[in-house]
Amino acid sequence: MPESQEKRWQDHGVIIAIISGAATLVFAYNVLFPMLTASLQNEVSSLRSQVQEIAELKSRIAALDTAAKVERQKLVEAQLKNVFSLGNPYPVGFGKVRLGDSIETIQQNFPETSIDRVTSNFWGVKFDHPVFQRVTYYFDRPRELKDRRVRQLLFHGANANSTALKEKLIEALGPPVAPGPKPECFVWAVDKIFVKMDSPNSFTIGPNAPDCQIEQK
């Protein structure tokens, strides 16, 4: 090739660009692409490992949750076994506030955060207890709130499907009477106190003999 033609070829920008681009592609194909592929493979492998770790963690959490439920059920059964003492209608540990006590007695015995001041006629107190989750205290009605006293207590069981509460009341207070006509309504008389159960998971304590009438709709 004549020298003049060789110089013209070397000075041609398009040809030089094509050769440079081809060299870049060869470099990318032989060097960069394998590096990127290896990097992506490492990322995929790392993500798979993280997914596996998350799955194992979820499995452990589920197992711990199941174990916690089993232990809580054991605690409920243990607490329920000794929930009443013989002849006492107040559950063990729930005798701090009784019939006739002042409204101040509730404030003095329970944390402020646990007291739900629903209305001036009754307050609720929440408990972290395996058998009873809440007690509602109903008041008589003097004009001044500070003068009000507890006239009835309603105990709410923590397990809505439990039928053992009635059995424990029978163990502590003896056989109930069923004055009727409302079915599954039972009454115990303990001195001048009356206990009424008309649902399997709650009962009331009050000073007056309750009835088991069917409410008219």
Average pLDDT over residues 184-193: 91
Same domain, 190 and 91: yes
Same domain, 134 and 94: yes
Q: Is the pLDDT of residue 207 over 90?
A: yes
Higher pLDDT: 181 or 32? It is 181
Same domain, 100 and 173: yes
Domain of 196, in residue numbers: 85-206
Same domain, 64 and 93: no
Same domain, 33 and 108: no
User: Which residues neighbour 198 within 8 Å (Cβ) at sequence distance 6 or greater?
Assistant: 182, 184, 185, 186, 212
Same domain, 109 and 200: yes
Same domain, 94 and 8: no
Within a domain: 77? no
Within a domain: 94? yes
pTM over 0.85: no
Within a domain: 62? yes
Domain count, the chain: 2
Query: What's the chain's average pLDDT?
Result: 82
Round to whole Å and give the CA distance between 109 and 138: 16
Strand-pairing partners, residue 135, are 125, 155
pLDDT digit string, tens, across residues 50-85: 888 888 888 889 888 888 878 877 776 776 778 999
| pLDDT band, residue 33 (cuts 50/70/90) | low
How many percent of the chain have pLDDT more than 70? 81
Within a domain: 148? yes
Within a domain: 213? no
Strand intervals (E) in 45-168 = 115-116, 122-126, 132-139, 150-157
Same domain, 134 and 180: yes
Same domain, 98 and 50: no
Same domain, 197 and 110: yes
Same domain, 170 and 132: yes
